[in-house]
Amino acid sequence: MAPAPRRAPRHRRHRRPRRPRRVTVGRREGLPAALGTATGLYVHATLAAFGLSALVTRSSQAFAAVRLAGAAYLLILGISVWRTATPRPAEHPVLGRAPWARSSTYTQALLGNVLNPKAASIYLTLAPQFINPHQSPIQQIMILATAHAALIALWLLTWTLILGRAARAAASQRFKTVISKITATVLVALALRTAVT
């Protein structure tokens, strides 16, 4: 027997409010970011192993082109974060993320690492110190890249967990807007620093 219309609102009042899912979404974004960064490290390790990174670092034109491309990417990313920092009044809170959004996080982390020429120079300067000339250099560089990627992924996932817990205590829209604008400012500053150095 269906309840009377006047009783229906009374039942709705006793429903428990849904818990916000933004913190969970933030944690899910941490894994694609860590994987994207790790993939970028493998790209630089592969290039270093086959000697292609030397071409980039020894050629001033190639190094400048990669550096400016990375600076432009950081600048575009910073402007995008700043523009989306304050949501429009008509927008509703996003409760979930589509798979393409998480893949976008992976792509952003991957491009941010691949377009950083300093990452290539790090492998060219540090890798020879761990290479045994009597063994396969490609295998040794890949082992070094695996250890490096594991440490970076662990670091990023740890920070994601810490920031996710902090977001519970400061879940206001104003706090999120401030953090987004700070992030955008840092990205733009990194873009300018990358372009001039």
Q: For residue 195, what are the contacts with CB-CB under 8 A and spacing of at least 6?
A: 67, 68, 71
Tokens of 163: 């920031």
CA–CA gap between residue 76 and residue 105 (Å, rounded): 15
Q: Is 107 exposed, middle or buried (0-12, 13-18, 19+ CB in 10 A)?
A: middle
CA–CA gap between residue 3 and residue 142 (Å, rounded): 67
Q: Model confidence over 21-80: pLDDT tens digits?
A: 444 445 567 788 888 888 998 998 888 887 756 666 677 777 777 678 778 877 888 888
Give the three-class secondary structure for 183: helix
Query: Would you say how long the chain is, in residues?
Result: 197
Q: Which amino acid is at 183?
A: T
pTM flag (> 0.75): no
Q: Model confidence over 147-194: pLDDT tens digits?
A: 988 888 888 788 777 776 665 655 567 777 877 888 888 888 888 887
CA–CA gap between residue 140 and residue 134 (Å, rounded): 11
